[in-house]
């Protein structure tokens, strides 16, 4: 974090609380790759305009969805059941009665 201190102002409330790094837009433009790495490592990075905080750099959360088409193999019975002729007939009957 000491090398990033050159990129902007670093402030902290106490030694037990992580420091917040605030940099102005022009400095952020020149140090973007370092700031992104710092944010990805868990440091709080705020980009300011004329000293007014504007945005916070945060890492992207991993996608919690399906990792690939292969995951559907585990749920093949559920997928097949959703397209069963019996279910189609039941839906058609419920729509006809309505």
The DSSP secondary structure of 35-63, one letter per residue, reads HHHHHHTT-EEEEEETTEEEEEE-PPPPP
- Closest by alpha carbon to 10, among 56, 54, 43? 43
pLDDT value at position 31? 94
Q: Would you say the pTM of this structure is higher than 0.85?
A: no
Which CATH class name applies to 3-57?
Answer: alpha beta
d(Cα 15, Cα 69) in Å, to the nearest integer? 47
Residues lower than pLDDT 70 in the chain:
1-18, 63-72, 74, 98
Domain range list for the chain: 3-57
């Amino acid at each position: 974090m000491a090398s990033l201190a050159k990129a902007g102002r670093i402030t902290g409330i106490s030694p037990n609380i992580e420091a917040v790094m605030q940099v102005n837009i022009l400095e952020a433009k020149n140090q973007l790759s370092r700031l992104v790495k710092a944010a990805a490592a868990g440091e709080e990075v705020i980009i300011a305009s004329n000293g007014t905080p504007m945005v916070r750099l945060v890492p992207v959360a991993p996608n919690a969805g399906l990792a690939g088409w292969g995951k559907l193999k585990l749920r093949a019975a559920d997928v097949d059941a959703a397209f069963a002729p019996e279910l189609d007939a039941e839906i058609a009957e419920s729509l006809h009665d309505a």
